[in-house]
Structure formats: structure tokens, C-alpha cells
Structure 1
Amino acid sequence: MKKLGILILAFSAQIFLAQASRFVYQVTMKPDAANPSDIKTENAYLDVNKEKSIFYSENRMKRDSIFGRARQTGSFNFDRSQMQSLRSNIDFTIEKDFKTGTKTFTSRIARDQYSYDEDRPMEWKILPETTRIGDYKTQKAETNFGGRTWYAWFTTDVPFQDGPYKFSGLPGLIVKVEDSKGDYSFDLKETKKIAELQNLDSFGSVIKVKRKDYEKQNAAFRNDPVSFFQAQMSSGRGGSGISAPMSRSGGGMRQPDPNQRKQMEERIKEEIKKTNNPIEIQ
């Protein structure tokens, strides 16, 4: 009977790995260290097949769908309130290549898309504590990554050594992971089969850099976003992002609307002030 059980488990794992799966996580964040009561919650997807996985926000997929339909119809008259409601605090994607072990982080800084391969190993300490989370029997593990101590609960019932964000490398799927300060948590809420992994549109070319260079660029943007935008535009880049608000001049040419542009700049500065507690603090 024991051998039969092992065979059934192995067969189930083969079926699981032969298909694409979507793991839906509820992500809870406290992006503003000065206002810990401001808690943001949204869903994110971990799409997995036998070769790789992609982690991204649910709102990202919805926005891509809207932009895709707009390109097909040629109509870009968006419902501003709808697009505003789909803005995400998970403004990145992470792709893990299981064969090479590469984790590629991609995110936009101002108007440009940047990506880098994670260069820091994630070393886990598996702890004896076990608990049941939903339908899964899980075991606890601990790691230090990005300046935070993280606690994860993983299950060997699902044959993927993967998890949300950059987390992976445990002997099973990560069902829950949270940092010791309670600023960030990822909780598995749903599992479903999908036909294939989501094809995310990058909306332009992606600039490949080293992680340290990405961090320098991001710090420069946060320090002075207006100058950063201007530098991108003067260098001839910036076509990959959302264009600055425009208005018609007398000759019919579209020119930047200075009033709307100022409003956009002030909004960006305010958003930066309220996102001072990143998931990685070093």
C-alpha cells in the first residue's frame, strides 16, 4: 500500500508538471513607513509550467488586456476612472527560469523599462514547525533577503519548488511568506489550471542592466523624478511609457500641456513620498 501511495503521488506530480498552473496570492503591503495603518491589498499571479514561472499583478493583466483591445480597435479613449482603479503597487514582473536558475526582475523607471538578473542567493533554514494552511500541510522556513527576515510556509503536496516574488528553492510550493515586521505578506488563495503562461506586453524595448545599476537609476528617479523624465526625453528615449499630457497648438501640432504636466509631476512626487517602505530595503 505504501508503494502504491508513492506511485499515485508521483503520477499526480507528472500530471501537474505537464500543465500550466496559476497560483493566486493575496499580497498585503504597508508601502508608507510613516503611516503603517495605510495597508494596501491586491492579488498577484504566479503562473508556472515545467520550464519557468512568471509573477505579476492581477491589475497588470487587466490593464494589458485593455491596451490590447485598444490597439486592435485603434481607439485609445480610455475610461480614466477605470484605469486609475487598476493601478498597482506591484509594478514589476519576475520570471524564473527553472533550467538555469535565473530570476529576472523587470520594472519601469519613469518612461523606460529595465530588467536585471537577481545575483543574490536565497539561503533557507528549514524549521521543525508545521501547520495546516487551507488544504495544505505546511512546514516553516526562514531566510534573510533584501534586508528583511522572511518566514515562509511551504507544502510538498505541490511539486513546484517556487513561490511568489523572488522566493523559491524550498522543497515544495510556498503557500505563505511574510517578513518579520509584518510589512509584506503573500498568501495563497486559489489554484487553477490555465492553457499557457500569460504573455505580458512590455510596451517597448527593455534595457538590461546589473542589479546595482538598476538600484542607482531608481534612486536617481526617486530623488528628482522631474529631472529624470527630462533626461530621458532629451536623450531621445521615453517612447515606451505613457506620454506626457498633450494639447493642440494653433498649427494643429500636439504640444505638451504645461498645466497637466505640472499636475502629473506633482502627483509623481506625492506618490514617491508615500512609497518609502520598499520590499527590499538593502
Structure 2
Amino acid sequence: MIKLRIMGIAYKGTIKIILVVFALFSTFNAVSQNSIEVIYLDILKDPSADGGATHAFNSKLLSNGKHSAFFHKSIDTMLLGTQSGVTEFPEGTKYHLRYLKDLDKNIIKYKKRSGKTISSIIDTVSFDFQFGKNKKTILGYECKQAVISWRGRYLELYYAPELNYSDGPFKFLGLPGLILLVEDPQGMVSMRAKSINKNYTGKIPTSLEKFQNPISYSEFVRKYDKFRVDLVNKMGAETPGTTFSLPYKEIEIIHPDHIE
């Protein structure tokens, strides 16, 4: 006779032992989460003369609810800005890894260039979400509204509670459901989900190549701002009477005035 005591309850017999083990295994499987793959269309059209930028690309999010990776791929398109004119984007051949997220710690790792220097950055993000009343249906999912004022932009986010991933495009995370749309009222930023694969079985990257001597986001912003100022002054000195501007108004506005 075999006895097994679990949480103070005595079970007799091999059949009951098997049933208890099976029940524990089934419970574990019930709470485990599949990985998910989401394709977004991302458009930034902020062509202002004062540091505006224009981008258009497809992006891909791979997430298991704990960790995620975010990729970019350029698309074959043209954007017309009132001041920047026509910007052309040729089709990319593959997705390139841009960001790694630790969803439990709100930590994002990535690399970004300032001039000839590429910085490795560890960004600990925080979002003060306010929940709105608006709803949208995106890819068949009813999405609820949240709004934030973050790093120089006012943004509306729509998340699907039915998709239990506290994740989203770019650096966005922390809502009670997968973020399927990020946009601003002026139409400068749009990140909209195009497709969802809820049964992704591939690998999710956990490291970035040559990620060395990382700095904080605030350190990078100050470094990038100095690079911009120095370069604009240099160009102005070489060509007197000409005004130069370098982009810093991206999805987040990379400027010392917009550091949390």
C-alpha cells in the first residue's frame, strides 16, 4: 500500500496517486500561455521643420507574456509631408530585431545610433494610463481605450482584453490586454495590428548582438541631444546663413524636455 500526502490530505493506492499527478499537470497546462505573433503597420508622419521625422514600416511582435521581441521591416511606400515633401521607402527583405522586453520588470533593451556611435540602451518604462470610454473593433476583437501623455506625445491606445498579453508595439506595455492600435489625434503616429497568430511556435530572441556597456534612456537622450546640437552648429558654421535641423520627433520625442 502506497500513501502520498499532499496539502494535508492522505491518498491511498497507485491509481489515486496517478490521478493527483495528472490533475496537477493539467492545472499547470491550463495556466500556461502560448506565444503570439502580431504584425503591425507603423507610420510616423511628423514632418515639422523643427526636428520632425517620417517613417513607415511593418513591425512584428513576438510575445509569450513574460518576454517579447519587436522587429522592423521597411515597406514599399511613399509618404507626402507638407514640408518634407515625398519620402520613399523601398521594400525590406526581412525583419530586423529592434527591441527586447522584460514584461515583468518593464525593461526594454535596444540599440540606437547617434552619428557614428551606436549606444546600447536599457530603458525602464512607466506609463500613467487613463482609461477612456471609447471602443474600437480591430481584427474582430473589441478593444478598449487608454490614453497617455508620454515623452512629448499625447497618445490613444486600444487594447483587447480577450488577448491576455500585457504587451504591444514599440515600447508599449502594461495594459490588461494586447495593444492593437496606438495613435495620436493629430495623425502623426499610427501603429495598427494587421494580423495575429495566436499559436506561434517559433523561438523568441533573448539577446541582442554586440549589446555592450549599456546606458540608461536618460543618458542616451542627453548624449543624442549633444550630438544634434554639435552637428547643427558645425553645419551652420560651414554654411553661414543656412538653417539645419536633425530629426528627434520620433514615436517618442528624443529630447531632454521629455525625460520622465
TM-score (norm 2): 0.65
Q: Deviations over 1:88-124 (max 9, x none)?
A: 9x99823221232323343223343323333452011
The residue number in structure 2 matching 1:277 is 249
Higher strand residue share: 2
Pairing of 1:127-276 with structure 2 (within 5 A): 127-192=132-197, 193-198=200-205, 202=209, 204-225=210-231, 273=245, 275-276=247-248
Match of residue 22, structure 1, among 18, 37, 43: 37
Equivalent pair of 1:102/1:118 in contact (CA under 8 Å): yes
Match of residue 47, structure 2, among 26, 32, 42: 32
Unaligned runs of 5+ in 2: 1-26, 76-88, 235-243
Coordinate RMSD, CA, aligned:
3.9
Pairing of 1:66-77 with structure 2 (within 5 A): none
Higher helix residue share: 1
Instruction: Work out the CA distance in 1 between the residues paired with 2:30 and 2:196.
Output: 15
The residue number in structure 2 matching 1:255 is none
The alignment partner of 2:60 has SS state of strand
Relative distance call for 1:172 and 1:104 in structure 2 (3 A) is same
Aligned sequence identity (%): 21
Unaligned runs of 5+ in 1: 1-9, 61-82, 229-271
- Shift, 1:13, TM fit: 7.8
The residue number in structure 2 matching 1:55 is 70
The residue number in structure 2 matching 1:233 is none
Instruction: Work out the CA distance in 2 between the residues paired with 1:177 and 1:48.
Output: 18
Q: Deviations over 1:237-264 (max 9, x none)?
A: xxxxxxxxxxxxxxxxxxxxxxxxxxxx
The residue number in structure 2 matching 1:241 is none
Instruction: Work out the CA distance in 2 between the residues paired with 1:179 and 1:155.
Output: 18
Which one has the largest radius of gyration?
2
The alignment partner of 2:47 has SS state of coil
Instruction: Work out the CA distance in 1 between the residues paired with 2:48 and 2:30.
Output: 42
Match of residue 45, structure 1, among 47, 60, 76: 60
Relative distance call for 1:216 and 1:92 in structure 2 (3 A) is farther
Instruction: Work out the CA distance in 2 between the residues paired with 1:13 and 1:164.
Output: 27
Instruction: Work out the CA distance in 2 between the residues paired with 1:87 and 1:214.
Output: 29
The alignment partner of 1:207 has SS state of coil
The alignment partner of 2:69 has SS state of strand
